[in-house]
Structure 1
Amino acid sequence: MKQYKVGIIGVGKMAQAHISGLTAVPEFTITSICDIDEKKLNRVGNQLNLSQEFRFTDFRDLINSNEVDVVVSVTPNDIHASVLEYCIEKNKPILAEKPFTLNYEEAKQLSEKYKVNPIPCMVGFSYRYTPAFRFVKELLELGKIGQVRSFSIQYLQGWGSLPYKVPYVWRFNKDVTGTGTLGDLGSHMIDMAHYLFGSFNEISGQLESFVTQRKSLETDEIVEFEIDDFASFQARMENGLVGIFQTSRNAIGSGNQHEVSIYGDKGTLHASTVSGENVVWIHIDEDTGEIVEKNLKVPNRVKVSEWDDFANMLSGSPSPGFPDFMTGFTNQQVLEAVIQSNKVKKTVVVREPTTWEV
């Protein structure tokens, strides 16, 4: 079994999920970390028992280190492209968090560099590894509900709602995030549709900004901003399926509610992060003609963790549906289509654009 020395760039809250996942995989040893916030850097460095020489404040130094074989990037969105570009330049495999880049222009430029020097790359669309969604994919391939006609996907969280009095943090800064809810949660919805149903053809989108003032994190001053708190869009896929999407961080009562409902000629499938080990199958009983609803337990055969599959990629055998570099690129392309559709108030075709209008 080959061993890999891992360097983590960005050690904020989300990095803890990666640290936990990586340490559960025997092939990985975390050898280096990087962050511009030295307090966070030292706290996590102490947690991992790393000496000072392996605590970097410049991601380039970490990538250049001989003690780093592979990179895990968990930075804010405006750094994603720079880290990916430098890994391409230095031939370092990477697991990069989503969204792929800050915007579509960055994604196009990055894809040109990747074509010249492709590297092993995984994009962190973690819900491909939720057992219920993986089982749904298997059931669809087996024709469990016959010809699929339509689907709905939603991803709702409540933490941005006004009663929680969340201050102005980087996720509300358009220069750092590119978009708000759309890129944060909507990118996962888009990826779930890619994973289960294939490529997008047309998009009709709408973005809304509900909260435009929040208190500064450092002071009591009010910060004015505008970023999407809600995104909804309709899509027609390349295979003719039609889907409806909605996402919000202002849905009180929703913790982390990412779910899909799929409607076919012979039944319905429903899966959610709320019950990640079960899939609901609804169909008409052939004998009685009555509606039957069954909870199907996810079998172990479909289960694999994101970090296990990262190791699989490095060994050359990722699981089917692995989220690679081009998965990230096409996701960014669809995000841009939603933005442009909202801007022109028309349905747009998802393609390499000269104009986004149909």
Structure 2
Amino acid sequence: MKEIKIGIIGLGGMANVHMEYMAKIEGVSVTAICDSNAEAVERAGEKLGIPAEKRYMSYEAIIADSDVDAVLSITPNQVHHAIVKCCLKHGKPFMTEKPFTRTYSEALDLLQQYEENPIQSMVGFSYRYVPSFRYARDLVRSGKLGTVRHIFVQYLQSWGVAMVGTPMNWRYRSEFTGTGALGDLGSHMVDAARFIVGEIAEVSAQMKTFIVNRPDPATGKVGTVDVDDFTGFLATLECGAAGVFQTSRNAYGSGNQLEVTIYGDLGTVSVSCERGQELTWIQPQVDAADPSISMSGVHKVPAQYHITQMQDFIDMLRGHVREELPTLLDGYRNQEVLEAIQQAAEQKRTIASADVREAALEAGGIS
């Protein structure tokens, strides 16, 4: 088995999580690291035993390194575009975190380059690797729920609530993050809907900023929040199903609450990332004379739906690509829907996802 040599860009907390999972996969090693913080590079280099010549502060240098087979980009949103663009330039396989980019124009730029030079890619829609989400996907696609009529998706967190006192940080500044709750959490909601049920055709939306001013530790002054704390939208999926979505970082009492409920003619399935080993399935009682008599049950997820994101990434590098793997195209389509949501909120009208690219190209393409 050929050893896979991985380069890590960004040495924050999530990088450690990914490395823990990779350490369990045979024939994989981290051989180069990169971060804009010199101390972080040296500290991680010593811990991992990385040679001095493989400790980088330039993402261009680690991507260009011929000894690195693929890179993981675990970075803030503002550098996603530049790093993926560099990977496309060098033909370097990669995994990048979500949201795919800050803006739609950045996503379109990457799509156009990818279409000219496609490479192995993964976008970090990590909830595709929650076993219950994968099980729900199969139940829907195998027809166990019949025709899907509507879905409800919510992703709620509480760290932005006023009483918590969260100060200004990069997630509250559009120049670094693009959007707020929409890109941070809403991107996962959009991907969950696409993954389990199907593509989103059109949306209408509202976006709200609840706390406009937050103390900025960097300046000692009050900073202005210019991204959303809450986004809610209605959607029509290409299959004809209706969708209701809400996301907030100001939902008091919520931990990491991503929940999806799918309502079909033959039953209803509910899943949550906080109970990823089981799902709730409501279905008609087989022996009941009245089909409206239902039976609700909690079902343990079969072992076949258990796989880690890093295993899927490494398998892709070795040539085994699963249908469920989120590629650059999934990242682009996700960003296209996020743009439709943002436009719908701003213009107070329904926006079709398919019109986003056409309008951008007519307006002069990318910026």
Q: What is the one-letter code of the residue matched to 2:347?
A: V
Runs of 4+ more than 6 Å apart: none
> Offset of 1:284 from its aligned partner?
2.7
User: Within 5 A, what are the aligned runs for 1:301-312?
Assistant: 301-312=304-315
Task: Check whether the contact 2:140–2:197 (CA below 8 A) recurs between aligned residues.
Answer: no
> Offset of 1:117 from its aligned partner?
1.1
- 2:35 aligns to what? 35
| Cα distance in 2, alignment partners of residues 195 and 11 from structure 1 | 29
| Cα distance in 1, alignment partners of residues 91 and 43 from structure 2 | 29
- 2:84 aligns to what? 84
1:333 correspondence with 2:342: no
1:353 counterpart SS class? helix
| Cα distance in 2, alignment partners of residues 42 and 162 from structure 1 | 37
- 2:17 aligns to what? 17
- 2:241 aligns to what? 241
Q: What is the one-letter code of the residue matched to 2:82?
A: S
Q: What is the one-letter code of the residue matched to 1:165?
A: G
Task: Check whether the contact 2:153–2:245 (CA below 8 A) recurs between aligned residues.
Answer: yes
1:293 correspondence with 2:296: yes
User: Within 5 A, what are the aligned runs for 1:92-171?
Assistant: 92-171=92-171
Deviations 1:66-102 (A, max 9, x none): 3311010011111111111111111110011111111
The RMSD of aligned alpha carbons is 1.6
Task: Check whether the contact 1:200–1:236 (CA below 8 A) recurs between aligned residues.
Answer: yes
Deviations 1:112-149 (A, max 9, x none): 11111111111111100100100101111232222211
| Cα distance in 2, alignment partners of residues 355 and 324 from structure 1 | 22
| Cα distance in 1, alignment partners of residues 222 and 342 from structure 2 | 27
- 2:279 aligns to what? 279
Count of residue pairs brought into register by the alignment: 356
1:295 counterpart SS class? strand
Instruction: Identify which range, 20-29 or 119-128, moves more after superposition.
Output: 20-29
> Offset of 1:355 from its aligned partner?
7.6
Percent of aligned positions that are identical: 40
Q: What is the one-letter code of the residue matched to 2:251?
A: A
Distance 1:354 1:6, change over 3 A: same
Q: What is the one-letter code of the residue matched to 1:50?
A: I
* TM-score, with length taken from structure 1: 0.95
Give unmatched runs, 5+ long, in structure 1: none
Instruction: Identify which range, 6-15 or 346-355, moves more after superposition.
Output: 346-355
1:204 counterpart SS class? strand
- 1:72 aligns to what? 72
* TM-score, with length taken from structure 2: 0.93
> Offset of 1:8 from its aligned partner?
0.8
| Cα distance in 1, alignment partners of residues 328 and 23 from structure 2 | 24
